Amino acid sequence: MTKIIVRGGQRLKGTVRVSGAKNAVLPILAASLLATEGDSVIHDVPLLDDVMTIQKVLASLGAQLSYNNETMRITAQAITSFEAPYELIRKMRASFLVMGPLLGRIGKVRISLPGGCAIGTRPIDQHLKGFEAMGAEITLGHGFIEASAKNRLKGAKIYLDVASVGATENIMMAAALADGTTILENAAKEPEIVDLANYINAMGGKVRGAGTGVIRIEGVDHMYGAVHNVIPDRVEAGTYMIAAAITGGDVFVEGAIADHLTPVISKLQEMGVEITESDNGIRVQAGPVLKSVDVKTLPHPGFPTDMQSQMMALLLVSEGTSVVTETVFENRFMHVDEFQKMNAQIKVDGRTAIVSGGLPLTGAKVCATDLRAGAALICAALRADGETEVTGLHHVDRGYVDITGKLASLGADIYRVEMEEEHAPEASFAREAAPAVAVSAVVSEVEAAVPFKREKEVAVLKIQPTWA
C-alpha cells in the first residue's frame, strides 16, 4: 500500500515554491481544443495525475500533446472524435470541461457524467442549461450525455442559479466560438476564471468582465493557439501556509499571490499568525499559541471550500472553540472521522462542525477521503505526537506536486513509501522529486496509452462541424 509517513513535531522553516494551479490548468488545457490553427504553449503546468488525465482526454479527441519541464504544447487543428472516453471522464470532474469547447467548435459531443472527489452530489444542470440556451439539444441516458447543435451555437443571456466555477468555464468556452454575444450572469469570480478568460483572449477570443459576476463573451469565427503562463495554485499555497502555521514555523511561500488568498490570510491573521506579503510570495510566521476563529466557506471572494479541511486542522491546535460552516458542498466533512483518530474533538451537525481546539493531536493510521482532506491530514500529522501513516494517496496525487519533497525541504520528518504491487499503470511513475528523466517517462507512458493520430490519418478522420 502506498503511504506517507509523518513524524510530527518539526518546526517548518525555509522557502517552498508553489506550482501552477490545478484548477486553472485543467480548463485551460480543455480550451486548447478551440484552436483550429497554430500550437498552444502552456507554461507552469504542474505534473499532477489530473493533468495526465486531461492530457489523455484531449489526445483521445485528436489533439497532439507533448509535455516537458512544466510546459505543455498542444496542437488541436484536427478533432477526430466527439466522444470523451468514460474511463477518463469518471476519474475526474474537470474532464467534463471538454464539453463546452467541443460544442462550440464542432457542435457535437457524447460524454459520460463526470466523477471527481466525493464531497457532494455535484450536479451539472447549470452547464446544460447554458448549452441549451445557446441552441444545443441535449439528451441524457445510461450515464451519458449527448449534445448537438444543428447550427453554430448562438450567443444568449444566461443566468446561473448557483455561481458554479465549472459551469462558468464550460459556458465561456462554448460561447467563445458562438454566433453573437453571450452574457453570463451570476458567474463565478474565482481567479481561475480570470486565467481562463485571459487564455481565451490570447487565442483570439473576446471575453470581458471575468472576475466579476457578469461576463460578456462575444463569439468569434476562428481561434488559434497561444502562449500562456498558468497562475500559481492558491490552494497549494494556502496548504503550505497552514503547514507553516500549524508547526509554529517561518516559511516563505514563493509565488503565492496575496490577492488570491485574502480570506485565508485574514483568518490566519485573526488567529495571531504574522503574514508578510511581497511581490513574489507570502511569508508566514507563527508562534506556539493560536486563537480560535469561525470559518464559513463561500464562493470566491469568500473563504474557499478547498481550504476548509486544512483550516480545520489548524483550528484543532488553536486555543478555544471554533465553528466551521461549509456552504458550498453538502458532504465535505469526511475528514472529521479521520481527524478523530488523531484525538481531535469535533462535532458535526449538518453543514456545521464545532471544533474544540487545544487538545494534543496524536499520530494514527488515517486515510485521505478526498484531495484536500489528504492535505489536511498531512498538516495535522506535522503537529501530532508520534507517527502518522496517511493512505488514500491517489486523491492527494491529483492536486499536489511532490508534497512530501516540498515539506521535507522545509524540515518536516516525512517520507513516502511506494509499494510495488499497487503500481497500476496510471499511478506508477515516480512523482516525488521527479527528475527530468521521470517526466519524459511519464509523457511517453501517456503517449503509449493514447496513440496520437498522425497527420495523414487525421486528414481522413477529421470531424467537420455539424453545420458545415
Ligand X SMILES: CC(=O)N[C@H]1[C@@H](OP(=O)(O)OP(=O)(O)OC[C@H]2O[C@@H](n3ccc(=O)[nH]c3=O)[C@H](O)[C@@H]2O)O[C@H](CO)[C@@H](O)[C@@H]1O
Residues designated catalytic = 117
**Given CA atoms 134, 136, 140, 146 in this order, what sign does their dihedral have?**
negative
Residue 107, contacted partner among ligand X, ligand PEP, none, CB below 5-8 A by kind: none
Radius of gyration for the chain, computed over Cα atoms and rounded to the nearest angstrom: 22
Among 116, 155, 281, 392, binds ligand PEP (CB under 6 A): 116
Neighbours of 125 (CB within 10 A): 11
22 belongs to an annotated ligand binding site? yes
Collapsed DSSP state (helix, strand, coil) of residue 230? coil
Q: How far is the CB of 313 from ligand PEP (least distance, A)?
A: 15
The closest alpha carbon to 188, from 209, 204, 217, belongs to 209
Q: How far is the CB of 365 from ligand PEP (least distance, A)?
A: 23
Residue 232, contacted partner among ligand X, ligand PEP, none, CB below 5-8 A by kind: none
Q: Name residue 71's beta-bridge partners.
A: 43, 68
Among 12, 16, 18, 26, binds ligand X (CB under 6 A): 26
- Residues 266/295, Cβ–Cβ less than 8 Å: no
Residue 372, contacted partner among ligand X, ligand PEP, none, CB below 5-8 A by kind: ligand PEP
234 binds ligand X (CB under 6 A): no
**Which residue lies nearer to ligand PEP by CB, 25 or 106?**
25
305 binds ligand X (CB under 6 A): yes
**Which residue lies nearer to ligand PEP by CB, 119 or 163?**
119
Q: Cα dihedral angle (8, 11, 16, 22), rounded to 10 degrees?
A: 40
Q: Which stretch binds ligand PEP (CB under 6 A): 54-62, 88-96, 224-232, 347-355?
A: 88-96
Q: Name residue 208's beta-bridge partners.
A: 216
162 binds ligand X (CB under 6 A): yes
**Residue ranges in 103-132 that form contacts with ligand X under rule CB under 6 A:** 120, 122-127
Phi-psi region of 365 (alpha: psi -120 to 50; beta: other; left: phi over 0): beta
Q: How far is the CB of 147 from ligand PEP (least distance, A)?
A: 21
CA pair distance 321, 344, nearest whole angstrom: 12
**Which residue lies nearer to ligand X by CB, 39 or 169?**
169
331 contacts: CB under 8 Å, gap ≥ 6: 118, 119, 120, 121
68 belongs to an annotated ligand binding site? no
**Which residue lies nearer to ligand PEP by CB, 117 or 314?**
117
**Residue ranges in 301-360 that form contacts with ligand PEP under rule CB under 6 A:** 306
- Residues 415/408, Cβ–Cβ less than 8 Å: yes
93 binds ligand PEP (CB under 6 A): yes
User: Buried b / exposed e across 249-283, counting CB within 10 Å, b at 16+?
Assistant: bbbbbbbbbbebbebbbebbeebebebeeeeebbb
Among 306, 326, 338, 397, binds ligand X (CB under 6 A): 306
Q: What is the 3-state secondary structure (H, E, C) of 334-401?
A: CHHHHHHCCCCEEEEECCEEEEECCCCCECCEEECCCHHHHHHHHHHHHHCECEEEEECHHHHHHHCC
**Which residue lies nearer to ligand X by CB, 47 or 361?**
47
- Give the three cell numbers for residue 227: 502562449
Q: How far is the CB of 313 from ligand X (least distance, A)?
A: 17
**Which residue lies nearer to ligand X by CB, 126 or 198?**
126
- Give the three cell numbers for residue 225: 493557439
294 belongs to an annotated ligand binding site? no
Residue 60, contacted partner among ligand X, ligand PEP, none, CB below 5-8 A by kind: none
Q: Cα dihedral angle (348, 349, 355, 356), rounded to 10 degrees?
A: -100
- Residues 370/395, Cβ–Cβ less than 8 Å: yes
Q: How far is the CB of 275 from ligand PEP (least distance, A)?
A: 23
- Give the three cell numbers for residue 113: 457524467
CA pair distance 404, 397, nearest whole angstrom: 11
93 belongs to an annotated ligand binding site? yes
335 binds ligand X (CB under 6 A): no
328 belongs to an annotated ligand binding site? yes
Give the phi and the psi of residue 81 in degrees, each rounded to 5.
-150, 150
Among 102, 399, 403, 443, binds ligand PEP (CB under 6 A): 399
Q: How far is the CB of 37 from ligand PEP (least distance, A)?
A: 30
- Residues 80/61, Cβ–Cβ less than 8 Å: yes
Q: Which stretch binds ligand PEP (CB under 6 A): 116-124, 266-274, 409-417, 448-456?
A: 116-124
Cα-Cα end-to-end distance for the chain: 52
Q: Which stretch binds ligand PEP (CB under 6 A): 28-36, 86-94, 286-294, 445-453?
A: 86-94
CA pair distance 234, 191, nearest whole angstrom: 9
What's CA 261's distance to the chain center, in Å?
15
Binding region for phosphoenolpyruvate: 22-23
Binding region for UDP-N-acetyl-alpha-D-glucosamine: 93, 122-126, 306, 328
Residues engaged in binding ligand X (CB under 6 A): 23, 26, 93-94, 120, 122-127, 162, 164-167, 188, 305-306, 328-329
Residues engaged in binding ligand PEP (CB under 6 A): 23, 92-94, 116-117, 119, 306, 371-372, 399
